[in-house]
């Protein structure tokens, strides 16, 4: 089925929205988990668990992986590892809500890297959606009295890497089994994090019941399930459209942060969330809106 057919794209984008909701739950849980584990220890454990689970579920498919599939998975794995570590370390120094909001800025960078990497300019509806989302994210990340800190800067770097990752995932996913790409990414991220432990941090781990429950959830739902769905369905839509869908993650994360740990973003944050939702709707309806206008002009 062609990637431009509405049914295929609509189904794919509904799956991408579902994993965005899952990801929205992870920021608060990561804040909790970093109280019991240092960042690289946490990431190594999370992705080793995810790798073992994924290998057990997709063992037969993984036996047919090609050298090129491994190579492409390694590229994605490096981007995933670097972005994920920047986000995780940054979260030690900023709030769960701000971490989610700044990560959402990937929607601003994705069209730029799509143009650079694929030589493919986004449609006008996508760009209008990006403007709304960028404005919403600006309000969300710039609440009154909230100063920029090192955690915010690291998370901003994470957003840049995740936008590059999104573009390459769409490119590589067209020619390779998503199970192959996902498994290589998980394994490489786990190995790199383990190697970095003695080099880049003073490791600590406190195996509490809450830590184990949170780690299991984070390894399964937002990692094995969400990243496999992303690798499978990313190719059926454009990087810009998917990035705008992912931009719903910040307001979702803010809701969880408010109800679970009492983080409050205020009225400015609410306005920002409305702008993000507006941008999402414009992008999703861009083909209908602008195709109709073009037909009327003829």
Considering only CA atoms, which of 71, 60, 89 is closest in space to residue 150?
89
For residue 290, the model assigns a pLDDT of 56
Compute the C-alpha angle 50/167/122, nearest 5°. 145
Other CB atoms closer than 10 Å to residue 267's CB: what's the count? 9
Tell me the C-alpha distance between 137 and 135, whole Å: 5
Query: Any bridge partners for residue 33, and if so which?
Result: none
Other CB atoms closer than 10 Å to residue 159's CB: what's the count? 22
Check if the beta carbon of residue 213 is closer than 8 Å to that of residue 41: no
Compute the C-alpha angle 111/94/264, nearest 5°. 95
Considering only CA atoms, which of 13, 87, 3 is closest in space to residue 244?
13
- Condensed to tens digits (0 to 9), the pLDDT of residues 168-216 reads 988 898 888 888 999 999 999 999 999 999 999 999 999 999 999 999 9
Check if the beta carbon of residue 73 is closer than 8 Å to that of residue 185: yes
Check if the beta carbon of residue 182 is closer than 8 Å to that of residue 51: no
Q: What residues contact 209, with CB distance under 8 A and at least 6 apart?
A: none
Residues in the chain with pLDDT values less than 70:
1-7, 141-147, 265, 284-298
For residue 173, the model assigns a pLDDT of 84
- 10 Å CB burial of residue 11 (0-12, 13-18, 19+) is middle
pTM of the model: 0.82
């Amino acid at each position: 089925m062609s990637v431009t057919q509405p049914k295929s794209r609509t189904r794919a984008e509904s799956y991408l929205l579902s994993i965005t909701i899952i990801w929205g739950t992870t920021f608060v849980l990561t804040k909790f988990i970093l109280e019991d584990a240092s960042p690289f220890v946490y990431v190594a454990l999370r992705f080793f668990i995810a790798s073992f689970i994924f290998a057990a579920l997709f063992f037969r498919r993984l036996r047919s992986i090609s050298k090129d599939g491994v190579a492409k998975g390694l590229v994605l794995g490096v981007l995933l590892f670097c972005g994920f570590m920047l986000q995780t370390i940054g979260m030690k120094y900023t709030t769960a809500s701000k971490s989610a909001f700044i990560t959402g800025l990937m929607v601003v960078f994705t069209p730029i890297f799509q143009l650079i990497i694929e030589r493919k300019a986004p449609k006008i509806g996508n760009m209008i959606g990006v403007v709304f989302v960028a404005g919403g994210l600006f309000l969300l990340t710039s609440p009154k009295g909230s100063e920029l800190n090192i955690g915010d800067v690291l998370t901003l770097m994470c957003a840049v890497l995740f936008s590059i990752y999104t573009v390459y995932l769409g490119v590589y996913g067209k020619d390779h089994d998503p199970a192959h790409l996902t498994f290589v990414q998980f394994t490489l991220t786990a190995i790199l994090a383990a190697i970095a432990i003695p080099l880049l941090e003073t490791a600590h781990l406190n195996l509490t019941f809450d830590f184990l429950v949170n780690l299991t959830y984070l390894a399964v739902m937002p990692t094995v399930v969400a990243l496999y769905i992303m690798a499978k369905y990313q190719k059926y839509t454009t990087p810009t459209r998917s990035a705008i869908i992912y931009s719903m993650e910040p307001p979702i994360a803010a809701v969880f942060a408010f109800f679970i740990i009492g983080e409050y973003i205020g009225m400015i944050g609410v306005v920002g969330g409305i702008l993000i939702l507006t941008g999402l709707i414009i992008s999703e309806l861009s083909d209908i809106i602008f195709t109709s206008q073009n037909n009327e002009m003829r």
